[in-house]
């Protein structure tokens, strides 16, 4: 199952090559022949001290099959041409063959190496080196193969399929420089300029040869003619213009219709904005009212607190200090039984967490107990406060009686 976290690899160069191939399919064959003289392919395969030439017209056939001796006898698009010696007699034989067969003048030549001239190896590399595969492989070529970078021509081809996390699989193909240089010199002596060189065990797809690899160094590669490129560029530009017209005109007509509808929508939105503004003002006033009510009910009034204290504390107890701040009440004074005040205050719903903050000391003169008490003031509904105060007042009157 594919991972949704995988990075999308967008190769613009590969996309445009695919797009040009699709445009090429739409171009009539006669026009392609006018702008491109090259038709068909000639596969040149070394065999011992000879060169085996095979002509291929249908590029969608199996190219690996035509690289083997005797292949293609059942296919009319594949035709063995000649087996040439790599000497002066072979050069003369090829020139004679070229004079008889006009297809050789228009064909693309491919040098396809065998297992005697090239080797391949599959490598697993970190995905971080994907942008610099050739440089990384060249730097560590002597670790992967018995050769150093200056001894061989090599190419690196990424392999398709799933890879291990953080790694990519690539195919390394290489050939000794002496071997390829000798083959290239023999081909040049015959008047053959190969389009590219590959390996028969992993041949390039001739239909998508621009996406393949090439063992030929830059100095050996055939220069591409500018005329076909310009013609295909012009055809591509024309196709883009037509495609743009097909896409733009319907959009333009739709745009005019949308503008007419937008004018009506703007008028309706203008009225809707006025309604929304009034609604926002109402909501703001409601929120402010709720905040004021919540602020008022957050804590009882100071008067209510001291009224509750007056009702709860008996006449034989008096206070010398009282402070209320941030929901906390602190009182100091003297009482015959200071410890009883804790229970008296906790019975009230208005006070909670009542406790002494300092030790109780008995005054030597008045024989009263000095105390310092703190309590948390709990906000309670007004009705409950009234009930509490009334109850405390009634108890106080009963004690006096």
CA distances from 244 to 24, 25, 251, 386 (A): 19, 20, 11, 83
Q: Which of 53, 54, 51 lies closest to 86, judged by CA?
A: 51
| Residues 242, 244: Cα–Cα separation, whole Å | 5
Whether the domain at 27-233 and the domain at 302-400 fall into the same CATH topology:
no
* DSSP reduced 3-state for 216: coil
Residue 87 near residue 128, CB atoms below 8 Å: no
* DSSP reduced 3-state for 207: helix
Domain coordinates in residue numbering, the chain = 27-233, 302-400
Phi/psi region, residue 326 (left: phi>0; alpha: psi -120 to 50; beta: rest), is left
* Range 27-233 classified under CATH 3.30.420.380: yes
The pTM (predicted TM-score) of the whole model is 0.50
Q: Among all chains, which residue has been given the structure tokens 């590219």?
A: 196
CATH number of this structure's domain 302-400? 3.30.1360.100
Side-chain-side CA neighbours of 141 within 13 Å: the count stands at: 22
| Residues 162, 131: Cα–Cα separation, whole Å | 18
Burial of 306 (0-12, 13-18, 19+ CB in 10 A): middle
Each of the 401 residues of the chain gets a pLDDT tens digit; together they read 445 555 555 556 566 666 666 666 566 655 555 545 557 899 999 998 899 999 987 544 343 334 443 344 344 478 899 999 999 999 999 999 999 988 888 888 999 999 999 999 998 888 888 888 889 899 989 888 989 989 999 999 888 877 788 888 899 999 999 999 999 999 999 999 998 999 999 898 877 666 789 999 988 887 655 566 666 677 777 877 888 888 888 888 888 888 889 888 988 888 888 888 889 999 999 998 888 877 766 667 778 788 888 888 888 888 888 888 878 888 888 888 888 888 888 888 888 888 888 888 888 887 888 889 898 888 765 555 455 545 555 555 555 55
């Amino acid at each position: 199952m594919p991972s949704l976290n995988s990075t999308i690899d967008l190769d613009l160069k590969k996309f445009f090559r695919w797009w040009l191939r699709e445009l090429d399919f739409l171009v009539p064959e006669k026009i392609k022949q006018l702008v491109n003289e090259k038709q068909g392919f000639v596969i040149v395969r070394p065999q011992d001290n000879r060169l085996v030439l095979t002509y291929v017209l249908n590029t969608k056939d199996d190219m690996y099959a035509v690289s083997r001796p005797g292949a293609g006898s059942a296919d009319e698009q594949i035709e063995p041409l000649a087996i040439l010696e790599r000497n002066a007699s072979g050069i003369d034989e090829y020139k004679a063959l070229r004079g008889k067969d006009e297809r050789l003048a228009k064909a693309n030549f491919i040098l396809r190496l065998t297992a005697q001239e090239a080797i391949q190896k599959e490598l697993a590399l970190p995905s971080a080196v994907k942008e610099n595969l050739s440089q990384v492989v060249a730097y560590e070529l002597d670790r992967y193969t018995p050769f150093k970078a200056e001894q061989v021509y090599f190419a690196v081809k990424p392999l398709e399929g799933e890879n291990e996390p953080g790694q990519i699989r690539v195919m390394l193909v290489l050939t000794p420089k002496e071997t390829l240089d000798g083959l290239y010199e023999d081909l040049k002596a015959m008047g053959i300029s190969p389009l590219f060189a590959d390996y028969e065990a992993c041949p390039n797809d001739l239909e998508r040869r621009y996406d393949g690899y090439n063992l030929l160094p830059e100095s050996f590669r055939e220069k591409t003619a500018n005329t076909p490129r310009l013609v295909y560029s012009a055809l591509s530009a024309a196709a883009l213009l037509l495609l743009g017209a097909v896409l733009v005109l319907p959009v333009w007509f739709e745009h005019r219709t949308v503008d007419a509808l937008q004018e009506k929508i703007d008028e309706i939105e203008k009225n809707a904005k006025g309604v929304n503004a009034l609604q926002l003002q109402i909501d703001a006033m409601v929120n402010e009212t709720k905040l004021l009510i919540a602020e008022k009910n957050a804590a009882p009034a100071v008067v209510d607190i001291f009224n509750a204290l007056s009702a709860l504390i008996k006449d034989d107890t008096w206070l010398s200090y009282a402070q209320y701040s941030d929901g906390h009440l602190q009182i100091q004074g003297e009482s015959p039984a200071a410890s009883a005040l804790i229970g008296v205050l906790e019975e009230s719903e208005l006070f909670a967490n009542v406790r002494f903050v300092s030790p109780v000391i008995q005054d030597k003169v008045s024989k009263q107990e000095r105390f310092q008490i703190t309590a948390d003031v709990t906000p309670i509904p007004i009705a409950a406060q009234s009930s509490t105060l009334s109850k405390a007042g009634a108890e106080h009157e009963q004690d006096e009686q």
